[in-house]
Chains A and B, each alone.
Chain A
């Protein structure tokens, strides 16, 4: 009877050895080929991204809007709405992972558009909560001055202060 116990523990061992049934060389060979194809697809994707940007958002008309959460570890962003030229161009609801990524210093590109040179009104509204559950909401406006080159605007949301700051890049 006690042999059963031995057999069970040996079964646990087989889990570790199962993978060895497929030869180590075969695994390594396949893994290296997968790495090669990943490398090639990354390279292709980089080129495709550049092509897409050149084709759809040429630098003379490109405006890109970015959202960041500086020093907002205590604040949880729930949604952001962006109006450019009085039209809603982006409305984003944040997932837990996105909030965490923003809190860790990540910057989210929320919208890329094509506009003519000149001044364009930008209006941003956000909604969020503090850790204690207090709700925060704010709206702020800004003028995007589009010149010849591409225009990048960072929308800094200081949640707990109900403030939105804009920064031209």
Chain B
């Protein structure tokens, strides 16, 4: 009877331990989030967020960068072009980490359909397969892996093979998985995980001995570190149950003993170790691990079971009174825990669990989902640890917390939009009254600037002409020009009035003209150089003027842009945020209900389990009392018999030795007949 149950128990435990292939906890792809040649600060900023698991900020940052990059006329000139391909993959990875599988899947499918080199397609196919695997769509994952042609990039090759092997295992193709995993043995980044999966695959493929051998070696030494320690314990626990199922109790005990006493699998190992001994009929030895287990956290299922197992073993050892005492302790504990569970269920129904999950501490305190039990009226989360460790529940929790985060972010943005409205209104009230006056002044200055620029242009052209066509009079100073004009005027007067002409006058005019011409001609080169220098100086002044002009134009534009053109955008964004808030609110309610439903269902099951334990314990307690009483009575009877015998013995020893009594020869006197008539009577 015992061994059949042991096999059933071991089988059930094995189903749990072998159910999901173990995978190493590695980032989606470390290379997608690393660069040793940063060429764009904003890409670096996205990495800063990504490495802190701030996926939302990282995706938003990269998304903005990618959008801006795609709008560039010459994108190859932008420094971001160095990171473009990496950023596209990084967004996919981050979306995957942010549980946006569909979006990540779409991005990868787009790469697969695109006109890109085969290695990139292969990497995309591998990533798409990972997404499907994560969503437990194993056939689709295999289909994606089959799209890989040739080899995948070296840095993801081992990961791709490992993923393929796990997909085969999920699809029940264990022989193929075994072949792949054998090739992967020795891969450092997957050390331990390959061996564990290989062991499972061998067991599932029917090669039990080889599977046990593989796991045995891992169970002896998986490596250092907490994760490897846990894997080693898990392996030993799996082997323990495997051998218990095969009724090899002695060997099974060895593996249960290998599990660390402080590890996460220690409770199950202690329980298993006890059952191995119990099945072998060694109840006194079964008590050792079970007694140890009863000292542990009373919310653990294994501990609660040990509370019943201990008195059971005492019962088998015929120590019914101790068994009764232990059943009594078990009943106390079960009673307390049933109360705790009832309070926890009520607390969840009152919304305390979701309230705690929405608190700020959720993102600041490590293991908040467990720690929240310390809050007043919060549910006892220790009962939910196994549930919380399940994939689905983790997804629900993260989704709920993501939605809460989005809700808070949107609330902040809605407040910011109100602030933006105020800023815009203030700017408008400041700029609108002064800008028209400034514009009038600017137009006047603008006209003068244009005029001066035209003058400068004319001067420049004249100087350039002088280089080709030498005309010294054009570089005359004002007094010289005046003198030249006076002389010209005199000539006009003389021409008009010939009577005033004389040879002397003519000579004097000609001499003066000659002097003037000579001076202009002699100084032409110097004057031309000076004019050129002056033009250059003028250019500097004009450049300053133009800079001021441009600055004014920019400031003027900035003033307008600081309050114009935002209204529609803000209205649209506010409407978008409000719509999103409504949807988030609805989705949070639905996701929250699922979380509550699962937690309540889990707690109710544990409560039902404890209640059934209580019934069993009460019967067993009564039975133990009966047996103890019976035994006590039997012992009392035995003691009485012993006492009586002892007394008899004592009496025998204490009483004097009776003398040999002679048989009476005479009749007792009463039988003696009276002498007178006795004889007569006889005679009668």
On A, residues with C-beta under 8 Å from B are: 1-16, 18-19, 21-22, 26-27, 30-35, 37-52, 54-56, 58, 60-61, 64, 66, 68, 97-98, 100-102, 104-109, 117, 148, 152, 154, 169
Q: Hey, which chain A residues are within 8 Å of B602, CB to CB?
A: 14-15, 18
Q: List 6 A-B contacts (CB under 8 A).
A: A5-B271, A15-B602, A40-B576, A48-B413, A68-B44, A101-B50
Most A Cβ at <10 Å: residue of B41, B59, B278, B309: B41
* Chain B 67-119 interface residues, beta-carbon cutoff 8 Å to A: 67, 98-103
Distance A148 CA – B557 CA, assembled complex (angstroms): 13
Besides the known contacts A11-B609, A101-B49, A105-B44, 10 further A-B residue pairs in the complex with CB atoms under 8 A apart? A8-B305, A9-B16, A14-B605, A34-B99, A34-B402, A35-B100, A41-B410, A105-B34, A105-B35, A106-B45
Output the nearest chain B residue to A15 by Cβ-Cβ distance.
B386
Please state if B402 and A6 are interface contacts (CB–CB under 8 Å).
Answer: no
Contacting pair A30 B605 (CB below 8 A): no
CB proximity of B548 to chain A, nearest CB, Å: 12
Number of A-B contacts (CB under 8 A): 227
- B36 close to chain A: CB less than 8 A: yes
Q: How far is the CA of A22 from the CA of B13 in the complex (A)?
A: 24
Closest Cβ neighbor of A22 among chain B residues: B594
Which among B278, B304, B406, B420 has the greatest number of chain A C-beta atoms within 10 A? B406
Cβ of A18 and Cβ of B51 under 8 Å apart?
A: no
Determine the chain A residues whose CB is within 8 A of the CB of B49 once the complex forms: 101, 106
- Nearest chain B CB to A54's CB is how many angstroms away? 8
Given contact pairs A30-B587, A105-B36, A98 touches B5 in the complex (Cβ within 8 A): no
Contacts of A16 in B (CB 8 A): 16, 19, 390
Q: How far is the CB of B3 from chain A (nearest CB, A)?
A: 10
Q: Does B356 contact A (CB under 8 A)?
A: no
Closest Cβ neighbor of B3 among chain A residues: A2
* Smallest beta-carbon distance B584→chain A, Å: 6
Q: Main SS of chain B's interface residues?
A: helix
Residues of B near A9 (CB, < 8 A) are 9, 12-13, 16
Of the residues B52, B416, B597, contact of A97 by C-beta under 8 Å: B52
C-alpha spacing A35/B304, complex, angstroms: 41
Nearest CB in chain B to that of A20: its residue? B392
Do residues A19 and B60 form an inter-chain contact, with CB atoms below 8 A? no
CB contacts under 8 Å to A, within B450-509, are none
Known pairs A2-B6, A6-B5, A51-B569; A35 contacts B410 (CB<8 A): no
List the B side residues contacting A152 at CB < 8 Å: 41
Which chain B residue shows the least CB distance to A39?
B103
Q: Which of B4-51 contact A (CB under 8 A)?
A: 5-6, 8-9, 12-13, 15-16, 19, 33-36, 38, 41, 44-45, 47-51
Instruction: Using known A-B contacts A4-B616, A11-B301, A12-B386, determine if residue A37 contacts B584 with beta carbons closer than 8 Å.
Output: yes
Complex Cα distance A42/B584, Å?
A: 13
Binding site for A on B (CB under 8 A): 1-2, 5-6, 8-9, 12-13, 15-16, 19, 33-36, 38, 41, 44-45, 47-53, 56, 59-60, 63-64, 67, 98-103, 271, 275, 278, 301-302, 304-305, 308-309, 312, 386-387, 389-393, 395, 399, 402-403, 406, 409-410, 413, 416-417, 420, 423-424, 551, 554, 558, 561-562, 566, 569-570, 573, 576-577, 580, 583-584, 587, 590-591, 594, 597-598, 601-602, 605-606, 609, 612-613, 616, 620
Instruction: Looking at the assembled complex, report how far the CB atom of A156 sits from the nearest CB atom of chain B, in whole angstroms.
Output: 10
Residues of B near A60 (CB, < 8 A) are: 554, 558
Min Cβ gap B87→A in Å is 14
> Using Cβ atoms and an 8 Å threshold, which residues of chain A touch B44?
66, 68, 105-107
CB contact under 8 A between A44 and B577, given known A2-B2, A60-B558: yes
Give Cα distance in the complex from A38 to B403, angstroms: 8
Are A108 and B45 closer than 8 Å at their CB atoms? yes
A128 vs B416: C-alpha distance when bound (angstroms):
35
**Shortest distance between the CB of B462 and any CB in chain A (Å):** 34
Q: Are B390 and A148 touching (Cβ within 8 A)? A: no
Other-chain contact of B64, A50, A64, A100 (Cβ < 8 Å): A50
Please report the C-alpha to C-alpha distance between residue A8 and residue B268 in the assembled complex, in whole angstroms. 10
Contacts of A51 in B (CB 8 A): 420, 566, 569-570, 573
Q: Are A106 and B420 in contact (CB under 8 A)?
A: no
Cβ–Cβ contact A55 & B423, under 8 A: yes
A10 (CB) vs chain B CBs: closest residue = B12
CB of A39 within 8 A of CB of B52, answer no
The 6 closest A-B CB pairs, nearest first, are A106-B48, A107-B44, A19-B392, A101-B51, A2-B5, A9-B12
Q: Which of A13, A33, A100 contacts B587 (CB 8 A)?
A: A33
- Chain A residues lying within 8 Å of B416, measured Cβ to Cβ, are 48, 52
Asked if A35 and B554 make an inter-chain contact with CB atoms under 8 angstroms apart, the answer reads no
Q: Which of A5, A33, A49 has the most CB of B within 10 A?
A: A5
- CB B137 to nearest CB in A, in angstroms, measures 10
A11 engages B423 (CB within 8 Å): no
Distance in angstroms from B507 CB to nearest chain A CB is 66
